[in-house]
Structure 1
Amino acid sequence: MEPTYDATGGGSGKVLVTRIAPQGWKRLRDVRLAALAESPEMFGSSLAREQGFDEAEWRRRAARPATFLACRDGLDVGIAGAYELDGDWRLAGMWIAPSVRGTGVVEALVDACESVVREAGATTVALGVMADNSRAGTLTSDWATGSPGSGGMSATAGTS
């Protein structure tokens, strides 16, 4: 069973955030491909490349320690992950479906990612965004001042 988190967003209905596991590989694949189709410039990959991944690769990606999917009204509408590299934590790979941007989905995903970082004993997490992503730039400003989620994490934010 995949752990889930309920959160009330600013839009209609609750946001259900699931920490994905290998058995959820199809959901992960579908959201990731939707993200690459809608915002290809925001990721270090391409839709064509990832469409070529087989089930084993998607299961491997779903087995990562902390990748989350956000669901609202029965539809997967967002993705994000918290990853540790050499002792530093980073929130990466975030995407929110255009129809639910600004409705609390991002905050629910940030809260879920922050919970993993806190469980690991860390007190800071970094978020990098593309320089031309103005909405994410607002998130990084809010997050750096401690307001996007309820987790109270200290954050470093920057653009690439």
Structure 2
Amino acid sequence: MVPSDCKALIKRFYQLQSERIETYQLFEEGHEAYLRTGPHYDFEHYKQLVNEITQAFSGISKEVLEIKAKLHRDFDRADLSEHIEKLQSKEKQKLELTAKLQLAKQQAQDQPEDEGCQGRIQELKHEIIKNKEALSEIMQDFKYDSEECD
């Protein structure tokens, strides 16, 4: 249920972002546990985790998009709506990078002689850092612009 007043919407948006961070932590912990099951990986358990994580991210995104629409439509806050649009795009990119990093980590574990794997892991970690910096900037802009939402 999406709240109906502007401040409540913004508060809910921040809660959803916190949930997203927690979901990433669960995803990372689950992947580390999965890697520990190698070389005969417990893929079924990991596949179930990925399904649960996907559902969690999908639910969060759906509600964030509802908030975005309400801010634009009901409160004439195209600026806040635009920040959320940018944020959603960066979050999608972050999830894609995270999945690529997880695959690279498994590949490095399975093929320790392949020196290119470590380089790929470092490259992906750097891209994730840049992505997180961009997310942080968007959140700062959102915070600044949302302070006048009374």
TM-score range, shorter chain: under 0.3
Scaled by the length of structure 1, what TM-score is found?
Answer: 0.23
Name the structure where helix makes up a greater proportion of residues.
2
Q: Which has the higher contact order (CA 8 A, sep 6+)?
A: 2
Which is strand-richer, 1 or 2?
1
TM-score (normalizing by structure 2): 0.24
